[in-house]
Chains A and B, each alone.
Chain A
């Protein structure tokens, strides 16, 4: 789609030589391709709305008059002490198990989820890229030690260990983010190492070295920019993973603690009420799913925009299909030309 558009642009430029040809960097091209991808744009908009809602959480708390951690035993619970449904007594999405405003709590949960998702991914990316680049660039003993370490982190029964760390260090936001980052960097590191291994053999690296550039300069000035594309794609896809990880820890009661709201601990509490209060499960689950889905779709969009090769793969598949159709016609004997021996 965008490629044909670019071709059209190029033809237009050829037809009108007085029109200056605009130079576009790789990133500009990527951005344009991304914007022409409807799914990616919708995901971006959804994420923007989520971020806006998360930032505006206190405003909504003021608007509804229900702070996130205040329980309303009189208006927020039925006579039997159960949560009240959406729209009752001014609770837009109903209340939770202790009579707090579910809508406001979901908004505050969005703050935690988005913050944890983005910040842990940043930490994991910086650590993963640095370690992967060092391992790949220096090779030898450094590589062996770092790679074995990466293997160990990837091989550990990480859910149990993450839970254990959360308990030992006491569940807090910092600990949770540390734990998630600790179990996320290794995957990034492994990929970065592989890329660095092939990049460092390139001629321009040799040229930089012969000009007297040190290892630090070569790694951060010459290799890093070429790693940004795969790393960006990977990090976008790690954000939803981190969000799910946090939600899971909080769901098990080992993450964000009450009364602070997080989507995970809301859903954990909701488990005691799912028979009586569907909204208690459905709304936080929907918020979580919409957010992770938007990030995953955006990640796929970024990958497609960065790597037009996937598009070419499909073009190849289409060609094969057309070939096959032609062969079928050939089998009927109408077109004997295709099966001439020695032609392939």
Chain B
């Protein structure tokens, strides 16, 4: 019963957050002189009449509150509107651009969890060892590297030489799994590494710090005292407790990333949510921008909800209220 009430309340607050984000995005972009869009659409030597007609067709001549009302009306019916330029529906665009982003995030998550958790656990159990020192340096380099620098360097030192020597498996651009799993991986392996490198650094640091804290707790000493093997102490008693913040971080990150991995997508030309929304921003394509912002916010809201639920499962002390 408590969980139902919790879910209802969270879904309601989530809806309010989405409404705030949508409204903020709407008015933020409406503040821009929309005339530029009509000008561009109407062509180079457009007469004022043509521009006026284009503006009317797009519905941009109506008062802002009327437009806002139409926008909200469509939104609650699940219609995010149509692109100013191509007339394509935003829902359709999302369906089309989501697969590259999801592929990128899923593969990236797998890579960075393996690397981050693995290195983090080893570093924490062997604090101040040579391994720990090396991993600390690697973590710092990862954190200090802007994502696009990693991407460009990978293109420079992996993609270019391999393709010059006639080895064409690793590619940029996106190819779906339907083109064959091997092709899919070949097209995404560099983006995955790029995305995972920075995240793995953050997760290593987080896991190591949490596990070090937990391993200093009394109940760990207790577990050791009753003669459990070190492996059991670390994994059953240590890692499980240390993972809770890692899980919550993972949820937030996945939510953020599904809304568009702008930089990685731009570097490798993946044409996912992120890259398309940046293009929409360049061209003042209002419905597309708002649609994608709402989508991104929805992912964040849902991810937070899932995190809270997982928390309750992982940590029995957390009560859902």
Contact = CB atoms under 8 A, between A and B. Distances in A.
Contacts of A275: 160
B146 A164 contact: no
A17 to B, nearest CB: 38
Nearest to A251: B148
Given A160-B259, A164-B25, A168-B32, A292 B278 contact: no
Interface in A235-283: 240, 244, 247-248, 251-254, 264, 267-268, 270-271, 274-275, 278, 281-282
Interface string A269-310: 011001100100110010011001101110010000000000
B38 interface: no
B73 interface: no
A252 B263 contact: yes
Contacts of B148: 247-248, 251, 267-268
Given A248-B148, A296-B143, A156 B297 contact: yes
Nearest to A297: B140
B212 A317 contact: yes
Interface in A145-191: 152, 155-157, 159-161, 163-165, 167-168
A35 to B, nearest CB: 20
B146 A248 contact: yes
A22 B300 CA distance: 55
B18 to A, nearest CB: 11
Contact of A344 (B29, B225, B230, B304): B225
B67 to A, nearest CB: 17
B147 to A, nearest CB: 7
B282 A167 contact: yes
A155 B304 contact: yes
Q: Is the interface of A mostly helix, strand, loop or mixed?
A: helix
Interface residues of A, number: 47
Given A152-B20, A289-B144, A270 B293 contact: no
Interface in B240-285: 256, 259-260, 262-263, 266-267, 274, 277-278, 281-282, 284
A247 B151 CA distance: 14
Q: Is the interface of B mostly helix, strand, loop or mixed?
A: helix
Contacts of B128: 314, 317-318
A163 B149 contact: no
Nearest to A241: B143
Contacts of B153: 281-282, 285
Given A155-B304, A167-B282, A271 B152 contact: yes
Contacts of A32: none
Contacts of B185: none
A103 to B, nearest CB: 19
A324 interface: yes
B43 interface: no
A264 B148 CA distance: 9
A155 B17 contact: yes
B141 interface: yes
Contact of B152 (A156, A161, A164, A281): A281
B314 interface: no
A42 interface: no
Contacts of A289: 141, 144-145, 149
A251 B17 CA distance: 30
Interface of A: 152, 155-157, 159-161, 163-165, 167-168, 240, 244, 247-248, 251-254, 264, 267-268, 270-271, 274-275, 278, 281-282, 285, 288-289, 292-293, 295-297, 300, 313-314, 316-318, 320, 324, 344
14 contacts: A152-B17, A156-B300, A160-B260, A160-B281, A163-B278, A164-B28, A248-B147, A253-B282, A264-B146, A267-B149, A282-B153, A282-B156, A289-B144, A296-B143
Smallest CB-CB A-B distances: 4 pairs = A157-B296, A292-B144, A293-B144, A317-B127
